């Protein structure tokens, strides 16, 4: 697949067909993704691939924690947003809720949608990316960004869709316990992966972008 086509085609998939993803396809994706650039070639990424009964257990445990009202304690907390950044976030939420038929007042449906993220969007498989706790977080986060995007793009080559998400790692101890990720690792991000369900309403979302002209300064050209 042409690289520009892949970049333009990639979008977050939040509804998947139940068909499993083969270990071979996942291996090929990771084999390609490790070619991603990293700071001084440190390659801070470590992958835990979960599927089947393990993923089912993770889904159940995450939802139980959420329903019990336990405060999330992610390994890398992300700050609240304000101004234009908040506006973009809210705009995405409005668009997703419209497609899913969720109104502002419908607390039950809003909660159900939230749970979906904690359930890894019911994907048949997920890739959890972690880093060693000895590493500097801002530097490693940059590198995790490069490998994450490469995984998402490479997946398209196998007709697979992805959703990169923090939600699945909001209760990192669930993943540590059920997927055997040691305490010495910081869990950074989850990637749900599977065959996109074209009928799932939220998959129709086309997230907006600021035109590059508005955010680019040209100097000497």
**Which residue number, 95 or 218, has a Cβ lying nearer to ligand FMN?**
95
**Which residue number, 212 or 218, has a Cβ lying nearer to ligand FMN?**
212
Q: How far is the CB of 160 from ligand FMN (least distance, A)?
A: 14
Q: Which of 30, 34, 63, 92 binds ligand FMN (CB under 6 A)?
A: 92
Q: How far is the CB of 54 from ligand FMN (least distance, A)?
A: 20
**Which residue number, 27 or 163, has a Cβ lying nearer to ligand FMN?**
163
Asked if 162 is part of the footprint of ligand FMN (rule: CB under 6 A), the reply reads no
Q: How far is the CB of 162 from ligand FMN (least distance, A)?
A: 9
Q: Which of 59, 119, 165, 186 binds ligand FMN (CB under 6 A)?
A: 165
Among candidates 165, 171, 212, 221, which has minimal Cα distance to 193?
Answer: 165
Q: 92: exposed, middle or buried (C-beta count within 10 Å: 0-12, 13-18, 19+)?
A: middle
Q: Which of 65, 100, 164, 175 binds ligand FMN (CB under 6 A)?
A: 164
Question: 49 forms bridges with which residues in the sheet?
Answer: 127
Q: Which of 166, 173, 176, 201 binds ligand FMN (CB under 6 A)?
A: 166
**Which residue number, 117 or 124, has a Cβ lying nearer to ligand FMN?**
117
Q: How far is the CB of 118 from ligand FMN (least distance, A)?
A: 9
């Amino acid at each position: 697949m042409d690289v520009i086509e892949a970049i333009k085609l990639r979008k977050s998939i939040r509804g998947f067909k139940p068909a499993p993803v083969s270990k071979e396809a996942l291996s090929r994706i990771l084999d390609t993704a490790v070619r991603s650039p990293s700071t001084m070639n440190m390659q801070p990424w470590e992958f835990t691939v979960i599927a089947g009964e393990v993923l089912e257990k993770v889904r159940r445990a995450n939802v139980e924690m959420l329903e019990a009202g336990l405060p999330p304690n992610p390994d890398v907390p992300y700050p609240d947003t304000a101004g234009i950044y908040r506006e973009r976030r809210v705009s995405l939420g409005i668009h997703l809720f419209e497609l899913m038929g969720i109104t502002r007042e419908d607390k039950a449906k809003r909660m159900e949608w939230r749970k979906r993220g904690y359930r890894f969007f019911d994907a048949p498989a997920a890739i959890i990316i972690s880093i060693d706790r000895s590493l500097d977080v801002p530097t490693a986060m940059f590198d995790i960004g490069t490998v994450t995007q490469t995984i998402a793009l490479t997946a398209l080559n196998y007709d697979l869709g992805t959703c990169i998400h923090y939600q699945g790692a909001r209760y990192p101890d669930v993943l540590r316990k059920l997927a055997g990720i040691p305490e010495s690792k910081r869990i950074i991000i989850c990637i749900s992966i599977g065959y996109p369900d074209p009928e799932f309403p939220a998959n129709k979302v086309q997230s907006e972008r600021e035109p590059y002209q508005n955010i680019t300064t040209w100097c000497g050209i």
